[in-house]
Copies of this chain bind each other. A is one copy, B any other.
Amino acid sequence: MADYVVTPWEVKGSIDYEKLIKDFGTKKIDDALLKKIEHVTGKLHYMLRRGIFFSHRDLDWILKEYEKGNPFALYTGRGPSGQVHLGHLMPWIFTKYLQDKFDVELYFQMTDDEKFLFGQVPTLEESNSLAYENALDVIAMGFDPDKTFIFTDTDYAKTLYPIAVKVAKLTTFSTAKAVFGFKNETNIGSIFYPAMQAAPCFLPSILKGKKTPVLIPAAIDQDPYWRITRDAAPKLGFYKNAAIHCKFLPGLGEGGKMSASQPNTAVFTTDPPKQAGKKIMRAFTGGAATVEEQKKNGGNPNVCSVYQYYRVLFEEDDSKLEERFNACKNGCILCGECKKELAKRVEKFLEKHQEKRERAKKQLDKFMVKD
């Protein structure tokens, strides 16, 4: 038994990503593929260099098609169960990079139905309204307004439901049960839901009237959905959806994913910057028990949530990141100082993000698609 759980609804424990690749049947992004990506895009994005995006399905094929002049569409999404936190931004930053590099369309699904059906949000009206709140964060990332289409499942149901029905027809309860762990007590909306999350994989092909490759940048916990979808794709006359998977941003507490359900371990994009800074100052670190001990033996950046924040979000420069790593290991920098600097960067980031988020309110109509 693995001592971790990774499903679309629950991520806990110390995750063995190598094992996850085997369990999920995905492929590791190896050096050969990285070289291939570098060949097409130029210098690798830091999330690829650092193995934050670490696994894939058919990414090599996506690149080949792209080089042949057959561009792909991007598809990712968000379950609107609360405010967006920094962990959510990680794949979005990478998605923005992909959109910029390849100049492609992005389809962004807000799964208001899911969050209601699986019980994270008490009413559908609430999850739908959160979807529009969260869309502001997506828009604030700077996606191309002419090539980005954000939609909620309920407000785009006339378009999505017929596609979902076709996927659903090909998916038995047995399969859904095996892939998602559904039980007799599971409600029938949750059982159908994977078909709704599958639908946008085929949306670009349907809207364009032409088979279109789709690449999904998302955290690895979403992969079970893509398995169902890939099984259905050829039977429906579409390409199999490709995927590129990232790891989870650890929370500010010890281990585990940053979670909206544990507000003190997560920095929300709507947190007042000073308050976010305070959360950072209270974060779990890899520091020693006393200052003296740390100066002598150094800290442990490998278990430190603050170091993780630098690594995945707040220090793009590899040499500076390495410097910080070594300084910690050697006891040359103490946790207080390290946290203070991160807090400053987080605060600065949030100030800017919140400005863009405010401006996004005027752009909502441009980005949202509805039936």
Contact = CB atoms under 8 A, between A and B. Distances in A.
Contact of A173 (B162, B164, B183, B370): B183
Contacts of A164: 189
Contacts of A171: 187-189
Given A188-B176, A188-B191, A168 B371 contact: no
A185 interface: yes
A250 B64 CA distance: 61
A196 to B, nearest CB: 9
* Top-9 shortest CB links A-B: A168-B189, A192-B192, A157-B161, A158-B158, A174-B184, A157-B157, A154-B162, A158-B371, A157-B158
Interface of A: 113, 116-117, 124, 153-158, 160-162, 164-166, 168-174, 176-177, 182-192, 194-195, 370-371
A183 to B, nearest CB: 7
A166 to B, nearest CB: 6
Contact of A172 (B155, B157, B173, B186): B186
Contacts of A166: 124
Contacts of A113: 161-162, 165
Contacts of A155: 158
A328 to B, nearest CB: 48
Contacts of A153: 161
B195 A189 contact: yes
A161 B157 CA distance: 7
A46 B334 CA distance: 91
Nearest to A170: B187
Nearest to A183: B173
Contacts of A183: 173
Contact of A117 (B116, B165, B191): B165
A214 to B, nearest CB: 21
22 contacts: A113-B161, A113-B162, A117-B168, A124-B162, A153-B161, A154-B165, A157-B158, A157-B160, A157-B161, A158-B371, A171-B187, A171-B189, A172-B185, A172-B186, A173-B183, A173-B185, A173-B191, A177-B184, A188-B195, A189-B192, A191-B191, A191-B192
Contacts of A158: 154-158, 370-371
A149 B106 CA distance: 37
Contacts of A161: 113, 153-154, 157, 161
Given A124-B165, A173-B185, A371-B371, 12 more contacts: A113-B165, A116-B165, A116-B169, A117-B169, A124-B162, A156-B158, A158-B371, A171-B188, A171-B189, A172-B185, A173-B191, A174-B184
Nearest to A157: B161
Contacts of A160: 157
A155 B158 CA distance: 6
Contacts of A187: 168-173
Contacts of A165: 113, 116-117, 124, 154, 189
